[in-house]
Amino acid sequence: MNILMVTNTFTPHVGGVAKSVAAFTEAYRRLGHRVLVIAPVFENMPENETDVIRVPAIQNFNGSDFSVRLPIPGYVSASLDEFRPDIVHSHHPFLLGHAALLVAASFDVPLVFTHHTMHEQYTHYVPLDSLQLKRFVVQLATGYANLSDRVIAPSQSIAEILRGRGVETAIEVISTGVDAQRMSQGNGSTIRKRMNIPPGAQVIGHTGRLAPEKNLHFLAEAVAEFIDCHPKTHFLVVGEGPSRNEIEFVFKKASVDSNLHFTGNLKGQDLVDSYHVMDLFAFASKSETQGMVLVEAMAAGVPVVALDAPGARDVITHNKNGWLIDSEDLAAFVSALKQASLLSEEEEEKLQLALKQTVEEFSMNRSAERALALYTTLSSEQPCPKETEDSLWDSALRVIEEQWKIWENIASSAEAAFTDDTRDT
C-alpha cells in the first residue's frame, strides 16, 4: 500500500505528533508498505531522507519551536503523481492539512485524520490570542474532521470529547504505540554521571517539550516542594523549550536549584537511558491527547504521578500502575510523590507487573496493524476511479469541491466563534 503522511511537524522536531508520525512511518515500512511524508523544513533536519518531501517554512514561529509552512511548491505535485497514494493520512487540520484534503480529492482516495492535539491549548503562539480564537480553532478542527473519511483519536477520552464537539465522522481509537523492548534496554549510569547526580540518589524525571501548554510551572512547584523536604532527591528534565527559564526560576526561589538537571533534547539510546535514571516520572500537562511519554516511562519500569486529564487517564489506573491527582493541588501532588517513593518491596513488585500489563496494550506493532486494517477497509469502500477521458476533468471537479468545502469550513468556524454563543470549548 502507498501511504501518504501529511504533517506540520516531523523530525527533528521534538513533540508527540512528530514522534507519532515517525513511529507509524517506521512501522509501516517495516511491514513492507511504502510511505511518503510531506512535512515542513526544520532546522537540523536529517540529510538524505528517504521518501520525505520538505516544503519551505517559517522557522520558530512567534517564539515557539514550530515551523509554519509556506505555499507548496510545484515539485510536490510531480512527486505525488509518481507516488500515487492509496490513502492520505493527515495529522493536522490547518496548513498542510488543507493540502491533504486536496490531494485526497485529486487522487480520489480516502482521507484519514488523526486528532493529535487539543489545538485551543496552543493559541498563545498566535498574536491576539482570545476566547474567540480558541473557539474558532475548535470549530475549524471539528469541521475538518467532518470532511475526513475517518477520524483517529489517540485515546478514548479524546474520542468522547470530539463526539461532544460535533464530530459526526466515524472515530477509531488508535494510540501511538511504544517499542517496549527498546525502552526496557537502558542504562542510566552514563546520564547520571554526565548530569552529576550522586549515585543512589532518588530521581524524579520529566520528558517533553518545555512549553507553556505543558503546565510546567505547577509541576516545578510540586517537585521543588517535595525536594525541599527530601533534599537527596534530584529532578531530571529531558527536553528543551521556552519554559526552561520558568522551571529554573521556581527552583531558585525554593533554594533547591542545585538538585535540578537539564539534559536538553535527547534521542536514540540517550533518550532510553535517561528514563533508566528515573525512579518516578512526574507529569502535569492538561493538553495531551495521549501522553506518549507516560507509556515510554512505564516501558522503562518507571511509575508515573500525573494530573487527571485526557490522555493520562487513558494510561494510568490510580494506585495500580501509577497515581492520578484529581485537581491541580500542590499538596495532593506532593503527597502522591511521597507515597510513590515509599513503596514496600511487595508493593513495588505489584506495581512493576501492572506497568508491564499496561505497556503490552500500547505495542507499536499492534497500533500499526490496527491503522493498516483501517486503511484497507476504507480503500475497499472507496469506489474505483473511472477510466475514461473525463477522469482528469472529474479529478479537477473533486479538487474544486474540496477547496470550496475548506473555505466553507473556515467561514462557518469563524461565524460560530464570534457569535454570542458562550458554550465551553
Would 51 be classed as within a structural domain? yes
- Residue 253 φ/ψ region, left for φ over 0, alpha for ψ in the -120 to 50 degree band, beta for the rest: alpha
Q: Are residues 35 and 139 in the same domain?
A: yes
How many independent structural domains does the chain possess? 2
Provide the pLDDT confidence category of residue 382 given band limits of 50, 70 and 90: low
Q: Which of the given ranges, 62-76, 275-289, 379-393, has the highest pLDDT on average?
A: 275-289
Residue 51 confidence (pLDDT):
94
**Residue 68 in this model has a pLDDT that exceeds 60:** no
284 assigned to some structural domain: yes
Same structural domain, 106 and 236: no
Give the pLDDT band (50/70/90) at residue 171. Answer: very high
Task: Say whether pLDDT at 417 is over 90.
Answer: no
Percent of the chain with pLDDT over 70: 81
Instruction: Examine the fold and report which residue of 321, 336, 361 is the final residue of a domain before the chain moves on.
Output: 361
Q: Work out the average pLDDT over 260-283.
A: 96
How does pLDDT run across 121-164, given as a tens digit for each residue? Answer: 544 445 555 577 677 778 888 888 999 999 999 989 899 999 99
Same domain, 262 and 411: no
Average pLDDT of span 68-85: 75
Instruction: For residues 103 and 86, state if they share a domain.
Output: yes
% of the chain exceeding 90 in pLDDT: 61
CATH number at residue 43: 3.40.50.2000
Higher pLDDT, 272 or 45: 272
Same domain, 378 and 250: no
| More confident: 370 or 382 | 370
Of residues 361 and 400, which shows the higher confidence score?
Answer: 361
Q: What is the mean pLDDT of residues 197-201?
A: 94
- Strand duo 57-58 + 68-69: pairing: antiparallel
Together in a domain, 215 and 321:
yes
51 and 194 both lie in a single domain: no
Kindly tell me if the per-residue pLDDT of 335 is higher than 70: yes
Q: 30: domain range?
A: 2-177+364-417
Decide which of 323, 340, 361 is a domain's last residue: 361
Residues 6+ apart with CB under 8 A from 67: 8, 9, 13, 40, 41, 42, 57, 58, 59, 60, 61
**425 domain-assigned:** no
| Residue 348 and residue 373 in one domain | no
Question: What is residue 135's predicted lDDT score, i.e. its pLDDT?
Answer: 78
3-state secondary structure the chain: CEEEEECCCCCCCCCHHHHHHHHHHHHHHHCCCEEEEEEECCCCCCCCCCCEEEECEECCHHHCCCCEECCCCCHHHHHHHHHCCCEEEECCCCCHHHHHHHHHHHHCCCEEEECCCCHHHHHHHCCCCCHHHHHHHHHHHHHHHHHCCEEEECCHHHHHHHHHHCCCCCEEECCCCECHHHHHCCCCHHHHHHCCCCCCCCEEEEECCCCHHHCHHHHHHHHHHHHHHCCCCEEEEEECCCCHHHHHHHHHHCCCHHHEEEEECCCHHHHHHHHCCCCEEEECCCCCCCCHHHHHHHHCCCCEEEECCCCHHHCCCECCCEEEECCCCHHHHHHHHHHHHCCCHHHHHHHHHHHHHHHHHCEHHHHHHHHHHHHHHHHHHCCCCCCCCCHHHHHHHHHHHHHHHHHHHHHHHHHHHCCCCCCCC
Q: Is the pLDDT of residue 31 over 70?
A: yes
- Return the pLDDT at 383: 56
7 lies in some domain:
yes
